[in-house]
Amino acid sequence: MLMESTMQQGALTVAGILRYGLHAFPEAEVITYDGTHGSRISFKEVAQRAAQLANALAGIGIQPSDRVGTFCFNHHEHLESYLGIPASGSVIHTLNVRLAPDQLQFVIDDAGDRAIIVDGIILPMLAQVLDGCPSVETLIVVGAVLDQAVREELSKKLRVLDYEEFLSGAEPTFEWPDIVETDAAMICYSSGTTGNPKGVVYSHRSTYLHAISALPLYGQRSWNILGSKGDIALIVVPMFHAAAWGAPYACWFTGSTMIMPGRFLQAEPLASMIEMFRPTVSSGVPTIWNDLLHYLEEHPTDVSSLRMLTSGGSATPRSLIQEYLDKYGIPVVSGWGMTETSPVCTLAIPPSGTPRERLVDYLETAGKVVPGVELRIVGENQQVQPWDGKALGEIEVRGPWITAGYLGGHGVENFDDGWLRTGDIATVDPEGYVRIVDRTKDVIKSGGEWISSIELENAIMAHPAVAEAAVIAVPDDRWFERPLAFVVVKPGTDLEVAELREFLSTRVAKWWLPERYSFVDAIPRTSVGKFHKKVLREGYQSGVYSIHEVDRSEGSR
Amino acid sequence: MLMESTMQQGALTVAGILRYGLHAFPEAEVITYDGTHGSRISFKEVAQRAAQLANALAGIGIQPSDRVGTFCFNHHEHLESYLGIPASGSVIHTLNVRLAPDQLQFVIDDAGDRAIIVDGIILPMLAQVLDGCPSVETLIVVGAVLDQAVREELSKKLRVLDYEEFLSGAEPTFEWPDIVETDAAMICYSSGTTGNPKGVVYSHRSTYLHAISALPLYGQRSWNILGSKGDIALIVVPMFHAAAWGAPYACWFTGSTMIMPGRFLQAEPLASMIEMFRPTVSSGVPTIWNDLLHYLEEHPTDVSSLRMLTSGGSATPRSLIQEYLDKYGIPVVSGWGMTETSPVCTLAIPPSGTPRERLVDYLETAGKVVPGVELRIVGENQQVQPWDGKALGEIEVRGPWITAGYLGGHGVENFDDGWLRTGDIATVDPEGYVRIVDRTKDVIKSGGEWISSIELENAIMAHPAVAEAAVIAVPDDRWFERPLAFVVVKPGTDLEVAELREFLSTRVAKWWLPERYSFVDAIPRTSVGKFHKKVLREGYQSGVYSIHEVDRSEGSR
């Protein structure tokens, strides 16, 4: 038998996170924005309300392991659920408010949610699917309900309670139970573009370790002892996306002020919040940062408080990173991960001491692994590939916040001897920086060579007249597959195919140049804001898009 | 049955630490100082040599769980042991080179070390105890052996190998085994001032989590993306003290340059290293920082590279912190912990935004708990005390890097329902800052009230003529116990008792003023550099000290 240590086990649990922030930073604040103002609440009050929530849920019969859904934007009530539900032993199931009704119904039913905490303003969206969700007994409504008829109709079938009334009678302390750290804390469904969503069940252990790994993003300034302020985090990434990338728990650990934007996620209110609350850091998808950048061009705003933006969920275009750095001195740090990975696996922090003119070369990568995650790339031959910046392989990851499967045992084909196969194709350079080349299903297989749809999109989006672009593979008689580029031109500008091809010819290999273009008003997006390439492929097959095809003799492969 | 998560277990192991630094920062460097120069070696080379060490140890029959001792100063070879021995499944036992021979023999024998890696220069110290250590079969000698006769004598009884030769034939890769994270990684003996030392066995899990908690101390600068360099850590705290407070593992995680001072721990070579290698952070005991401060007064040195010093092992005097801040702009951050706690439990990071003139008020505390540690204070009535800055209680801690016992089951009386009783008496203020008032065994119980020996010492040491001071309780007819102050006067200065009492009278309560003083050349210290109050008490009882006792009518209690 091997020698055991003398150490305490010291279970890593959400109750531990809750107690830590309460004891270390009772006066730290959470600000929730209502469209014009911010209301402030202290960590101590949030902790007391989390305990009230746990007591009230116990009062309606919610037991350990029972699932409690949230159908909410980002606000302090959602944070109370993040803390109080898992700490009490129940499981929070964060529901994506942008899911299609059939998918929403599927995930509520699949997880077996017994109660759902729901924003009053989107109660009608939830109401339309609840007939297909027999497990749901109780709705707890946050904020005002605009459509009282919906509420009255729901009240005939379910217990419908007001969140503040629900909490008001409950005790503000709770004897948080001892919990086995590998037990469930949170469920988040992976929004695959094919098939039904699949449930990823985060444990207390994974939640805790993932949050700890994110601390430098949200608490770094507190350690600059001489004369700097603590971090203030504007949490734009929705709390229904993979635990908001760990930001709420990380800020709770570091005592950083959290700004919760509610449903006000457009560029204009975000700019207002930045001027009003002066955040130092913010996390969100590239689309948000792109929209904000365009807004700032027209509406000068003081964004000098920001020391860093974090971008993830899809690739961040180099041009976007370059503009934020050049115009505002703000580094945009990309992260890479997925719901299955909690999600943070990598962060594009440049090596210390990188000269300013080389920063973007690192910031535009997917970054290097954070401590806790192990990563490898595996080629078509199933061989682990070298980190030479050239060899391509599918990214595989393992570690304490990487899933080993899905709720109900689905999807085990995604695993390779204990490593999660991610479906992303990448290179890794000798310094450990990962560059995502494509999705395994999006890469364009042209004449035995691979063309990265993402690199092509980035090259196209670098053109000043292009607002956004998406590239898919379409069948080709000669080369088997060739790229088709969907292009959205910026309002008030014109763009000819010939000009775009001329522009691209200096940026990509000649044989990568698409022959097919389609100018569209917008690129369709998935519920989490990514390009919905499945819709583009289907639309192309059914002939809904007008395609401009150039003469092959112009030199394309 | 409770709901399980879908997460991978993702064992937290030293092999995981080793792989992370190797992959993320292969070019980062470890500098070992030889008294005049620094030799550099990359993380990649250290990792390869750690694998060679593991292979070579396996080659001489070292098995998983076998103990391998190190009797070494801080250098890259010691780091190779820190990584390679636990990663391979064996257990590193760091031997304190300052232990008395009987204690050294005891701990080697108690742990059952099969091999010991030893610095050639201190081989004679080890040699004198090995006859009482039958488990030891092999010595592996680092660096030159000055006394070849000792080596030859040892070679008659043991296998004595040269470290470089030992490694030279071995493969530079090792298939690190899967390890249960709660298994033993490192043994460190607690140097109690009474009784035999007791073994604390750190696990892979505790080692990993403790190192992660120390990351902001050693890697913060890497996250300042615009224009700052990475951290460079001068690791002064010996690697035979509680894993050097986690510094080597933390730097390995962050890719921070490590400067290893070898045996050159005096103020003069430390000042040379600071000028030569420009560290940004350094950790050590207060005595070291006190010696350095005095040296700097006489020998102007460029210490501008330092952003922070970390101080622990015993209380850091306020005057010391104030001088570093005022003269050099360097915050000295205290930490609190003990071998039983891995050791870091608290760090005195001031709240963000603290004005400069208030920094010392926070820096002089023991700090607040780091994420992962839970702390409470328990009064004489066994009641948990409030965090009001007034109530006194013994500190109790729990968490994943707090010990639950000792090797061989010793010392279980130190536990209170899963919490480790630390023997330190403290207050905690509403912000969570801990102030150590005394040791339970050092506090002076004067007429039913407690006098803190530590606060008295700090008040005495604030006098400009005092180099250091220690206070113990001595029996008193009227008050049961009264303080006796041992005072070391700075060379070239004079100090009268009357002047010292006058000075103290404005700093402590009148009834705290000691009536008994003894001027000595030095305060005796333990093997880890703390005041050895047991020696002072015994010396007092046997009458070896000359005591100056003031007239009671002067107003003392």
At A517, list the tokens. 């273009």
Count of CB pairs separated by less than 8 Å, A with B: 255
CB contact under 8 A, B215 and A219: no
The phi-psi region of residue B276 (left if phi > 0; otherwise alpha if psi is between -120 and 50; otherwise beta) is alpha
Which residues in chain B are closer than 8 Å to A16, comparing Cβ atoms? 372, 374
CB A274 within 8 A of CB A234: yes
Is pLDDT at A336 greater than 50 in this prediction?
Answer: yes
Mutate to test the interface with A, among B22, B110, B209, B225 (most CBs of A within 10 A): B225
Q: What is the pLDDT of residue A313?
A: 85
- CA-based nearest residue in chain B for residue A403: B7
On the question of pLDDT at A479 being above 90, the answer is no
Contact (Cβ atoms closer than 8 angstroms) between residue A259 and residue A235? yes
How many Å apart are CA A2 and CA B88, to the nearest integer? 12
Q: What is the pLDDT of residue B407?
A: 93
Instruction: Report pLDDT digits (tens) over A270-317.
Output: 999 999 999 999 999 999 999 999 999 999 999 999 999 999 988 898
Contact A208, A13 (CB under 8 A): yes
- Distance CA(B92)–CA(B75), nearest Å, equals 15
The confidence score (pLDDT) of residue B556 equals 46
Residue A133 Rama label (left phi>0; alpha psi -120 to 50; beta): beta
Those residues whose C-beta lies under 8 Å from the C-beta of residue B406, and which sit 6 or more positions away, are A6, B190, B198, B199, B200, B412
- Asked if A201 is an interface residue toward chain B (Cβ–Cβ < 8 A), one would say yes
Tokens of A71: 């159908």
* Helix A76-87, helix A43-59: angle, nearest 10: 60
Distance CA(A256)–CA(A278), nearest Å, equals: 13
Helix and strand element counts for chain B (H, E): 17, 27
- Closest by CA to A411, choosing from A423, A401, A399, is A423
Name the minimum distance, in Å, from the CA of B422 to any CA of chain A: 15
CB contact (8 A) between residue B228 and residue A89: no
Q: Are A25 and A42 in contact (CB under 8 A)?
A: no
Instruction: Identify the pLDDT of residue B107.
Output: 97
Amino acid code (one letter) for B36: T
Q: Which chain A positions have a beta carbon within 8 Å of B353's beta carbon? A: 228-230
Interface test with B, best of A2, A5, A44, A198 (most B CBs within 10 A): A5
Query: What's the longest Cα–Cα distance across chain B?
Result: 77
Q: Enumerate residues 6+ apart whose C-beta is below 8 A from B32.
A: B38, B39, B41, B75, B76, B260, B262
Residue A519: both structure tokens together: 């100018």
Beta strand residue intervals within A183-305, DSSP E: 184-190, 198-203, 232-235, 257-260, 281-284
CATH number at residue B469: 3.30.300.30
Q: Give the per-residue pLDDT at A455.
A: 84
Task: Tell me which chain B residues have a C-beta less than 8 angstroms from the C-beta of A356.
Answer: 226-227
CB of B207 closer than 8 Å to CB of B400: no
- From CA B230, how far away is CA B404, in angstroms rounded? 36
3-state class (DSSP) for residue B464: coil
Task: Residue B8: list chain A partners with CB under 8 A.
Answer: 398-400, 402-404, 418, 420
Residue A484 has what DSSP assignment?
Answer: E
DSSP conformational letter for A525: B
Read off the pLDDT band of A478 (50, 70, 90): confident
In a domain, A376, yes or no: no
Q: Residue B105 in contact with residue B133, Cβ under 8 Å? A: yes
Nearest to B404 among A7, A405, A432 (CB): A7
Work out how many domains chain B is built from and give that number: 1
Per-residue pLDDT, A191: 72
Asked if B273 contacts B35 with a C-beta cutoff of 8 angstroms, the reply is: no
* pLDDT attached to residue A194: 61
A352 token code pair: 């210390």
pLDDT at B511: 87
Q: What is the pLDDT of residue B227?
A: 65
Q: What DSSP assignment string belongs to B378-391?
A: E-TTSPBPPSSSS-
pLDDT along chain B (557 residues), means of 10: 85 97 95 97 98 98 97 98 98 94 95 98 96 97 93 96 97 96 96 78 98 85 76 96 96 96 97 97 94 96 96 90 97 95 95 92 95 92 90 94 90 82 94 90 79 89 95 91 95 93 92 94 85 92 92 55
Residues 6+ apart with CB under 8 A from B496: none
- On the CB side of B171, how many CA atoms lie within 13 Å of its CA? 7
Which of B5, B25, B64 lies closest to A202 in CB terms? B5
Inter-chain residue contact B398 with A10, CB threshold 8 Å? yes
Best residue in B7, B212, B346 to probe A by mutation, most A CBs within 10 Å? B7
| Chain B residues touching residue A5 (CB < 8 angstroms) | 182-185, 201-206
What 3-state class would DSSP assign to A347? strand
> Residue A403: which of B7, B225, B228 has the nearest Cβ?
B7
Which H helix or E strand runs over B363?
A: helix B359-363
**Residue A525: φ, ψ to 5°:** -125, 155
Residue A478 placed within a domain: yes
Does the beta-carbon distance from A7 to B331 stay under 8 Å? no
B229·A368 Cβ contact <8 A:
no
Tokens representing residue A70 in the block: 């949230």
**Within the 24-43 window of chain B, which residues sit less than 8 Å (CB to CB) from chain A?**
24-27
Q: Mark yes or no for CB contact B403/A8 under 8 Å.
A: yes
Q: How many CB atoms lie within 10 A of CB A531?
A: 25
Rounded CA-CA distance B451/B469 in Å is 16
Spatial separation of the C-alpha atoms in residues B119 and B4, rounded to whole Å: 49
Beta strands at A67-71 and A91-94: parallel, antiparallel or unpaired: parallel
How far is the C-alpha of B365 from the C-alpha of A481, rounded, in Å? 67
The answer to whether residue B520 sits within a structural domain is yes
Going by the DSSP 8-state scheme, the letter that residue A325 receives in this structure is I
Surface of A (204-263) touching B: CB under 8 A: 204-206, 209, 212-213, 215-217, 219-231, 253, 255
Residue range A196-215: average pLDDT? 94
B201 and chain A in contact, CB less than 8 A:
yes
CB-closest option in A25, A183, A220 to B4:
A183
The residues in B 353-382 lying below 8 A from A, measured between CB atoms, are 353, 356, 359, 368-369, 371-372, 374
Structural domain range at position A455: 442-554
Contact A447/A557 with Cβ under 8 angstroms?
yes
B76: nearest Cα among B259, B266, B308? B259
Residue A482: pLDDT band (50, 70, 90) is very high
What are the Cα distances from residue A203, in Å, to A10, A71, A253, A365? 15, 21, 18, 29
Is A218 a residue whose pLDDT tops 90? Answer: no
Of the two residues B186 and A418, the one the predictor is more confident about is: B186
Is residue A501, in this structure, part of any structural domain at all? yes
* pLDDT band at residue A412 using 50, 70 and 90 as cut-offs: low
Contacts of A209 in chain B (CB under 8 A): 10, 12
| Chain B contact present for A106, CB below 8 A | no
Q: How far apart are CA B553 and CA B557, in angstroms?
A: 9
Across all residues in chain A, what is the average pLDDT? 93
Instruction: Enumerate residues 6+ apart whose C-beta is below 8 A from B540.
Output: B472, B474, B484, B547
Closest chain B C-alpha to A91 CA, distance in angstroms: 8
Name residues 445-504 of chain A within 8 A of B (Cβ).
none
CA–CA separation, A150 vs A134, rounded Å? Answer: 18
Residue A101: the pLDDT is 93
Percentages of chain A per state (helix, strand, coil), in multiples of 5: 35, 25, 40
The predicted structure's pLDDT at residue B450? 73
Averaged over A214-231, what is the pLDDT?
79
pLDDT tens across A84-130, in order? 999 999 999 999 998 889 999 999 999 999 999 999 999 999 999 99
Task: Tell me how far the alpha carbon of residue A224 is from its chain's centroid.
Answer: 29
Question: What is the Cα–Cα distance from B425 to B396, expressed in whole angstroms?
Answer: 10
